[in-house]
Amino acid sequence: MTRFKVGYLLIRHLFKDYQHMLVLHQKPSAFLHIRDRHLMLFLYNFIRGEGITRSSVIDKPEDHGEAHLAALGELEYRRQFLILSYAGGMKLRDLIVAEAIRHWKDLPMVMFESTVWEHLGRKCISTEDRRLYFDWDSGSTHVYHCYVNVDGSYRFKGPYLYKIRRTLLQKELGDDNVLMVKFAKEEVQRGQSGACHNYPTYMKVAREGILVGLRRYRFFVFKDGGNEEKKKNPTSSPVKCYFVRVASDAAIDKGVYYRLSHMTMYEARCLFMHAHTLASIDNYMARFSLILSKTMSLKADWSLVKVEIIDEEYCLDESGNCIYRDEKPLIHTDGTGFISEDLALLCPKIEAKGQWISDEHMKGLPDPDELDDTGKNRAGLRTEEPPLLIQCRLFHNGSASKGTLLVNKKLQPNRIQIRPSMLKVKTDPVISNNQTLNSLEIVGTSTPPRNTHLSRILIALLVHGGVPEEFFMQILNKALEDSHGVFCKKRAALKVAEKYGEMDDNFLGRLMISFGIPLEESYLRYRLSVLMKEENNSLRKGRLYIPDSYNLMGTADPTGTLKEDEVCVILKDGQLSGKVLVYRYPGLHIGDIHVLKATYVKEIEYIVGNAKYGIFFSCKGPRSIADEMGGGDFDGDLYWVSRNPQLLEWYKPSEPWIEASISTKKNPSRCPSDHSPEDLEDVLFRSFLTTRFEPSFAMSEAADNWLAWMDHFLTLGDSNIHEKNNVKEKILQLVDLYYTALDAAKKGVKVDVPKELKVSCFPHYMGKNRSYPSTSILGSIYNRVDEHQTEDRSLKEVEKLPAFDENEVPDACLDKWAELHRQYRKEMASALDDDDKQSKNQSADVVIRKYRKILYEANDFEESRRPIEEIYNEAHAIYHVCYDHAKRVGNVKVCSFAWRVAGKALCQLHARNNNERFCTIVSSVLMEIL
């Protein structure tokens, strides 16, 4: 029975009226009269999805009605998108009259969203898809989503507002000209393969483009985010696909300059880089996706900047001859170059992996035009020291490079020096340079390392190297002992609040503790309980804090003075001396941990000055130390460096990893230049579909099975030599497979994990379906933490602090905030009804900031010009309104409103009411104290 027949019978059964069904068939807007919204959407989409009757029930996705599209095209793009998003895939002509769209045109954005929600969104989409923001014009990055169904129809979601840095693609084209497109995965029936069978439909979408109102978007680039992206959202594909605007008939776009107007996709991509010069299609998108890194641009005058290519430092044998692997010379300087001091001074400090930007570094940063050739401003004052290393992407005259740049005081101003290993895409000499953009995009910089923790992999490798299990259990027991005092010792509570500050609501826990709020206070007790759950989860995974250890960005020795077994490590107080352990994540080989000698090198100071935080490796010997650590390089990799005396005493290094020949399947691939521009579009999009719907799990399979075999290996005694050797052989084979799988996509090879290397059961701490109780150090750590579970304090009775006497609160303040609190609860419920965690958190933060602004009549307490007593009275009222509500519903969690909105005022009020003096302390000093 066809889908339409089933739908026909279902509708007839539901409505008992054939005439009503005909109305639904011929006039889709009649669906809106069905009271049950979910039923309405189900029936509407059910019929729409049937190919035979689709044209009679609903027109093409872009056919909203000529008048409606014309009206839509007069609006600012994000308003257009919001209307289409709230229409939920239904046609505007069936929902509203065209003139209504024009009436909404000039509404303030907050009111516009509310109006569109009432007229469209409430009827057509679920509450979780509502975009409820109160700071539409805050400068946040706007991200626009399109979801393509298996039948080729599509719907929109967004815009999503994120406080994240923009990609080069967004910066060059604008947020509204970039569309993130997600293609639905069809359900796989029993007996079918897992591959997508819907390629023809999706290829048709790519060829025709996606219409957003009167704008047309076409496929441009995709990126496989890999494990990092999978960790952020385990339920979503890590492969992100982006379409860009190529044309528009919207009135608002007429006469407005757009970078890609009248360009082919081939020409548009050449604006960023000449990726067509690459040797294979497999490498094309891997390199072109460099424009999707979230970066900050170095503001420099590119007419003055000179980019030079300098020679590599080659690996040499005892006779001074180059050493080759796969017919390529081995190098010591893989991925690292130089930048002149004046340019480095323009670079903001960004934590590696782009997680954090130092506001302090940005303050007082001069405009590039105010700097002279020596990096000084015209007043003769030098800005602070530049970062030692800059992880970057460099786009220059059609070429694209990636790697790290070491600040070099000896370079002439406005110089960047890169090496051939950094150059990923070369310039096509046929294309004029004025047709390409020039930009240095900064991903991260060398910054002070945070507290460094171990991992399961590192613990296993250290135990294999001779570190006794008791060492790790002692560290664990100390950590558990400290955690036990979180609810009764302020120092312990302050430490955990500082450690998980990014989880804490605006560092509320730290603020409350430092201002003397008792640890037994209901909400503080709850927050500490939440943080302790995170701490226990972290410890359970082997994240043990090791003193005297650091994660540092690596580079090659620019002086050539370091010996083969020597490194130079620069920290806050200068260079280290003595033995250190060095390891690169995510190394699996038993020889990936090296024992090296940290050596003071005076000559390095002449090059980097007082710049800090990094590790320099020797450029001598037959092989790079970084390469010995699982094929590492210097394009931004972080290296674990430890001078912990106990680890150095016990650990005995093994022979380093040597690349083995792995049997892989080579995917046939032609050069991009072998295809016509039209055919190339099909080839690239098919490459995306393959990556999206036929992913390789070889890397995760190899890593999981490696850990399982290593767990077994660590429990075997010396009497089981034969079995140990057998298990060790499997471990080493999995290491080779894992390292090969890391770069398989770029090399165009397919890696499979053989059945004989797969375990039948996994250790219980890995959380797999088939498991056994592990007795290794990793199993012991997991079990020990489980035995020490802290009390769940989230359901305790809500109690008020004596210092906040309700009798002192004016009735007018109580009435005002009782009403505002009711309004807040509705808005917060809508904000939290979102399937995207990042968007949910940011939406909630926007709501909180709205009410904080009502209280302080400013963005925050420090900026407020209100009389302090008025602030105290209203903060006092907020506290009682919120806590009374929490008592009624029996949930201490909802007390968060009082502290997130009025936390700073409440803390100071509490201190005043207890006749205590208070002072502030900067975070860097606090971290040092802790």
Domain holding 901, by residue range, is: 806-929
Helix and strand numbers (H, E) in the chain are: 34, 27
659: exposed, middle or buried (Cβ count in 10 Å: 0-12, 13-18, 19+): middle
Task: Flag whether 379 is in a domain.
Answer: yes
Phi, psi of 191, deg, nearest 5: 95, -15
Residue 841 is predicted with a pLDDT of 76
Q: Are 112 and 50 in contact (CB under 8 A)?
A: no
Phi, psi of 231, deg, nearest 5: -65, -35
Task: Flag whether 154 is in a domain.
Answer: yes
Which residues, listed in sequence order, are joined to residue 862 by a DSSP beta bridge?
none
CA dihedral 383, 389, 390, 393 (to 10 degrees): 150
Residue 314 CA to residue 319 CA, distance in Å, equals: 13
**DSSP one-letter code for 600:** -
Which residues, listed in sequence order, are joined to residue 245 by a DSSP beta bridge?
217
Task: Flag whether 141 is in a domain.
Answer: yes
Last residue of a domain, one of 445, 460, 486: 445
Is there a single domain that holds both residue 32 and residue 101? no
Task: Flag whether 682 is in a domain.
Answer: no
Residue 1 CA to residue 5 CA, distance in Å, equals: 6
3-state secondary structure of 647: helix
Q: Are 162 and 136 in contact (CB under 8 A)?
A: no
Is there a single domain that holds both residue 828 and residue 882? yes
Cis peptide bond upstream of 159, omega within 30: yes
Residue 232 is predicted with a pLDDT of 61
For tokens 């995207």, the residue is: 836
Is there a single domain that holds both residue 314 and residue 265? no
Which of 221-230, 407-416, 522-531 ranks highest by mean pLDDT? 407-416
pTM, 2 dp: 0.85
Look at phi and psi of residue 904 and say left if phi exceeds 0, alpha if psi is from -120 to 50, else beta: alpha
Residue 483 is predicted with a pLDDT of 80
pLDDT by residue (tens digit) across 764-781? 999 999 999 999 999 999
Task: Flag whether 16 is in a domain.
Answer: yes
In sequence order, which residues have a C-beta less than 8 Å from that of residue 359 and are 6 or more positions away?
none
pLDDT by residue (tens digit) across 3-23? 444 454 454 444 444 334 434
Is there a single domain that holds both residue 42 and residue 90? no
Phi, psi of 98, deg, nearest 5: -60, -35
Neighbours of 887 (CB within 10 A): 17
Residue 225 is predicted with a pLDDT of 80
Is there a single domain that holds both residue 823 and residue 917? yes
Is there a single domain that holds both residue 362 and residue 263? no
Residue 733 CA to residue 60 CA, distance in Å, equals: 53
Q: Is the pLDDT of residue 60 over 70?
A: no
Higher pLDDT, 831 or 733: 733
In residues, how long is the chain?
Answer: 930
Q: Is the pLDDT of residue 33 over 90?
A: no
What's the total number of domains in the chain? 5
Residue 806 is predicted with a pLDDT of 76
Report the relative pairing of strands 141-148 and 178-183 from DSSP bridges: parallel
Is there a single domain that holds both residue 148 and residue 170? yes
pLDDT by residue (tens digit) across 597-654? 999 999 999 999 999 999 999 999 999 999 999 889 999 999 999 999 999 999 999 9
Residue 613 CA to residue 608 CA, distance in Å, equals: 11
For tokens 């650091």, the residue is: 550
Q: Which of 821, 823, 841 is nearest to 885 (CA)?
A: 821
pLDDT by residue (tens digit) across 72-119? 999 999 999 999 999 999 999 999 999 999 999 999 999 999 999 999
Q: Which of 614, 600, 494, 596 is nearest to 550 (CA)?
A: 614
Residue 25 is predicted with a pLDDT of 43
pLDDT by residue (tens digit) across 615-624? 999 999 999 9
Task: Give the pair of three-digit tokens for residue 128.
Answer: 């979780």
230: exposed, middle or buried (Cβ count in 10 Å: 0-12, 13-18, 19+): middle
Is there a single domain that holds both residue 37 and residue 184? no
Which residues, listed in sequence order, are joined to residue 616 by a DSSP beta bridge?
555, 568
Higher pLDDT, 225 or 320: 320
Cis peptide bond upstream of 586, omega within 30: yes
Residue 540 is predicted with a pLDDT of 94
Residue 737 CA to residue 661 CA, distance in Å, equals: 10
Is there a single domain that holds both residue 198 and residue 314? no
Q: Which of 158, 160, 156 is nearest to 140 (CA)?
A: 160
User: Confidence band (pLDDT; 50, 70, 90) for 505?
Assistant: low
Q: Is the pLDDT of residue 593 over 90?
A: yes
Task: Flag whether 708 is in a domain.
Answer: no
Is there a single domain that holds both residue 193 and residue 306? no
Last residue of a domain, one of 380, 410, 445: 445
Task: Give the pair of three-digit tokens for residue 791.
Answer: 């009390």
Residue 507 is predicted with a pLDDT of 62
Task: Flag whether 40 is in a domain.
Answer: yes
Residue 465 CA to residue 480 CA, distance in Å, equals: 26
Is there a single domain that holds both residue 196 and residue 339? no
Neighbours of 193 (CB within 10 A): 8
Task: Flag whether 825 is in a domain.
Answer: yes
Residue 411 CA to residue 354 CA, distance in Å, equals: 27
Is there a single domain that holds both residue 314 and residue 391? yes
Last residue of a domain, one of 445, 475, 492: 445
pLDDT by residue (tens digit) across 440-497? 999 999 988 888 999 999 999 999 999 999 999 999 999 998 887 777 777 777 777 7
pLDDT by residue (tens digit) across 864-890? 999 999 999 999 999 999 999 999 999
Residue 37 is predicted with a pLDDT of 46
User: Confidence band (pLDDT; 50, 70, 90) for 921?
Assistant: low
CATH of residue 629 = 2.40.40.20
Residue 717 is predicted with a pLDDT of 81
Q: Rg of the chain over CA atoms, in angstroms?
A: 30
Higher pLDDT, 26 or 654: 654
